Structure 1
Amino acid sequence: MPNKNPLQRLRRIRRVATCLLAGMAGIFVAARLMQGQYPWLGFVAAFAEAAMVGGLADWFAVTALFRHPLGLPIPHTAIIPRNKDRIGVNIAEFLEHNFITHEVLHDELRDVDFAGVSARWLGRDENSRAVAERLVGTIPAIVNMIDDRDAAEFFRGALGSSLKDVRLAPVLAQVLTVLVAGRQHVLLLQRVLGLVARALEENRPYIRQKVHDHSPSWMPRAIDEKFFERLMNGIQSILDDMTDENGEWRVRFQTAIEELIDELQHSPEYEEKLRTLLANGLHHPLFREYVGGVWADIRARLLSAGTSPESRLVARAQDALQVFAAALEQNPAIRAKLNDWLRGFAIEAIVERRSLIVAVVQRVIDKWDAETISDKLEQQVGSDLQFIRISGTLVGGVVGLLLYCVSLLIA
């Protein structure tokens, strides 16, 4: 298995290059010492000598990029540490103008199916369940952030705002017209009359006692009873007349309803009265208390749904997510439009903020000291540079050998 650690690979290749250079030096010394006895070693010496020159030259060049060779402050060495800040600026500008552009990002994201991948991922039960639980799990935190009085005031204000531009009188006239057309107003009247009749019958002892309490003390009880009976009979007679479809009371009721509908449709006074009544109702303490109770019930249900592991809200949210995922995966046109929107949004968001992105890169590089940036760059490209040392040693040796052969030919 190849070594994936850049530093270890660099050290290994550096040792190979150094050992090769040292080997060439050893071969050169040995060849020169034994050349008098073995003349053919002149070719070996020439190869080794040129290889040393090439290897030393490449070692100097590679080392000069990252540090001073042998620690000597030779001019134009330690190039990367001395130009750290300029390198950071150049890298940032290079990223900004060559990578983070509309053209590059569009080409890179053109074939990415964001919607399809998301739909397939969301279509799996475990994923949609996890998303649903996460969504529902945020409900308690959101609900707890809301003050009960603020929530109640919000609902009251929302109701008032939604009805602000609604003409209440014509709406009520339309409702009454529908009721009259379906004779629902007659059924309502009969229901009300039945309730009144039943209330009178159930409260006869109470009414009798009230008649007796308000009679003069000298009035005989028998007269009180006769007055009570006549009163009850009179009321019952009126109720009977009102229930008669052909009676005078029914005609009056029908006429009153029709006149009320006409007034609601055309009279601005009724509109003003209804609006005043609505405003008073919205500010009434009983209505505020009712709205507070409604919010308390909603709050309790949301908290219960958000904290229960078997919440029906989680199941419904999961079903909704899976339905959405299936519909998205089966509709290529919608998926294409969504991909275009996501692609455009991502490109615009990245390009508009590319100055911030490259600024982060530049700030990070600026925070590194010269030695740190030199080490990081050497770890990334140092191995290839060490191969240059190796190839320089071998190429130098071959060139030296050729030159030695040419010198023998023209001698």
Structure 2
Amino acid sequence: MAAVFVAARLLQPDYPWLGFVAAFAEAAMVGGLADWFAVTALFRHPLGLPIPHTAIIPRNKDRIGANIAEFLEHNFITPDVVRNELKDVDLAGIGARWLADDANNRAVAERIVGTIPAVLNMIEDRDAAAFFGGTLASGMKDVKLAPLTGQVLSVLVANGQHIRLLQKVLGLVGSALEENRGYIRQKVHDHSPKWMPKMVDEKFYERLMDGIQSILDDMADENGAWRERFHTAIMELIEKLEESPEYEARLRGLLARGITHPLFREYVAGVWADIRGRLLAASESPESRLLLRTQGALRIFSTALEKNDTVRTKLNEWLKSFATEAIVERRSLIVAVVRKVIDKWDAETISAKLETQVGSDLQFIRINGTLVGGVVGVLLYAISLVLGGH
């Protein structure tokens, strides 16, 4: 514009119409310089001169950071905004489709199984025994053991299971006697006086075995007195369990002694060691059954989730509600990060970053200022000619 202004001024005596060109160029220079000064003053001191009210962004960096953070907090990270943005997002469907891919569910299964050794190695066998014992004691603390046992027995009696149980026990006893006849005979001989004839021992053994077998047969007889006594005893026991505090105290004492007994702790520790060993072996194998089952479970879950609209809708509602609450409740942390990052930037850095982001738009501001100034200059020149002519 300066070059056009000089050329137009030099040639204007020979070409009077160039006065309009000179007026355009003159005003365009003023408009361009004014916009250059205004834009430059945002980011730095024009020409390096400490002119008041220039370098606005560097001087107000902290206030700008605080304002940006506050603007984000109250205009973007609000329940309505976050909820509205998540409204049409099918989070559960996206997750289901992602898990349906074999590579993805394999990666998730490996990550799940891979955490097992670290978790298991943190738990000592004694701690596991103490935990299971404490959990059992705590879980049974408010349970009435005697009435509960009575109810279980009532169900067994109602279905005739107590008779089947008795028959099973009698069958086991009979089998045990038959399989250990030689052992019993030897015990009879061992405990008989040395002067006792062996024939007498044998007769005593046979009488003993016949007597025991006769009792077992009587107990197994459906119409025998033993069966009636057994049923009566069970019914009396059920009644006492449901009503007698003494039985409750006995059962609770048995439970307490059993849980604290070293044998129980050793048993639990042994079971835990076996479970841990199996899980560790399964988790360390690249193609273990545990890994394949986990992967299969994830695949089944993803397929079922994608096909079940009701479950997916409910899960989406929960996920969106959780995400909204989590984001909004932590918005102060989010804006604190924004403010902290901006506070760490020096004046030159923030100026350079902002100028880089809006540089092309600022260039158009300068160009527009130049063109608008030139148009205004032509209009003013024309008005001056009209007024001068009058």
Tell me the residue number matched to 1:20. none
Tell me what 1:173 maps to: 153
Given the alignment, which residue of 149, 174, 179 partners 1:198?
179
How many angstroms does 1:228 deviate by? 2.2
2:266 aligned residue: 289
Q: In the alignment, which of 292, 295, 298 is matched to residue 315 of structure 1?
A: 292
| 1:355 corresponds to which of 310, 332, 351 | 332
Match in the other structure for 1:14? none
Please tell me whether residue 244 in structure 1 is matched to residue 244 in structure 2: no
Cα deviations across residues 268-307 of structure 1 (Å, max 9, x unaligned)? Answer: 3344333322322222222211111100111011112211
- Name which of structure 1's ranges 67-76 and 376-385 shifts more when overlaid on structure 2: 376-385
CA gap of 1:179–1:162, structure 2 versus 1, over 3 A, is farther
Partners of 1:67 and 1:78 within 8 A in 2: yes
Establish whether residue 209 from structure 1 lines up as the match of residue 190 from structure 2.
Answer: yes
Indicate how the Cα distance of structure 1 residues 196 and 281 shifts in structure 2: closer, same or farther if over 3 A, else same. farther
Normalised by the size of structure 1, how large is the TM-score?
0.85
Query: Among residues 182, 197, 207, which one is paired with 1:234 in the alignment?
Result: 207
Match of 2:236 in 1: 262
Tell me if structure 2 keeps the 8 A contact 1:66–1:378.
yes
Pick aligned residue for 1:386 from 363, 374, 389: 363
User: TM (normalized to structure 2)?
Assistant: 0.89
The Cα of 1:224 is off from its aligned counterpart by 4.4
- Residues 352 and 246 from structure 1, CA distance in 2 versus in 1: closer, same or farther, beyond 3 angstroms? closer
User: Could you list the per-position Cα deviations for residues 151-183 of structure 1 after superposition, in whole angstroms to 9, with x for gaps in the alignment?
Assistant: 121122223334441424415634763566544
Over 3 Å counting, the alpha-carbon distance change for 1:324 and 1:137 in structure 2 is: same
The 5 A counterparts of 1:143-158 are 143-158=120-135
CA contact (8 A) 1:47 1:400 kept: yes
Q: Structure 2 vs 1, CA of residues 234 and 313 (structure 1 numbering), >3 Å: closer, same or farther? A: same
Task: Report the counterpart of residue 18 of structure 1 in structure 2.
Answer: none
The answer to whether the 8 Å contact 1:123/1:326 transfers is yes
- Structure 1 residues 228 and 271 mapped into 2: Cα distance closer, same or farther (>3 Å)? farther
Structure 2: gaps of 5 or more residues? none
Residue 161, structure 1, aligned to residue 138, structure 2: yes
Number of residue pairs aligned between Structure 1 and Structure 2: 380
- Residue in structure 2 matched with residue 112 of structure 1 by the alignment: 89
Identity %: 59
User: Superposed, which structure 2 residues align to 1:6-405 within 5 Å?
Assistant: 24-164=1-141, 165-168=143-146, 169-171=149-151, 173-174=153-154, 177=157, 182-211=163-192, 215=193, 220=195, 223-245=196-218, 251-252=225-226, 254-256=228-230, 258-266=232-240, 268=244, 269-405=246-382
What is the CA–CA distance in structure 2 between the aligned matches of 1:87 and 1:153, rounded to whole Å? 58
Pick closer, same or farther for the CA change 1:275–1:324 going to 2, 3 Å.
same
**Counterpart Cα distance in 2 of 1:176 and 1:200:** 33
Contact 2:126–2:265 under 8 Å retained in 1: no
**Gap change, CA 1:403 and 1:180, over 3 Å in 2:** closer
Instruction: Tell me which amino acid in the other structure corresponds to 1:316.
Output: R
The residue matched to 1:244 in structure 2 has which SS? helix
In the TM superposition, what is the alpha-carbon distance from 1:334 to its structure 2 partner? 2.1
The one-letter code matched in structure 2 to 1:173 is L
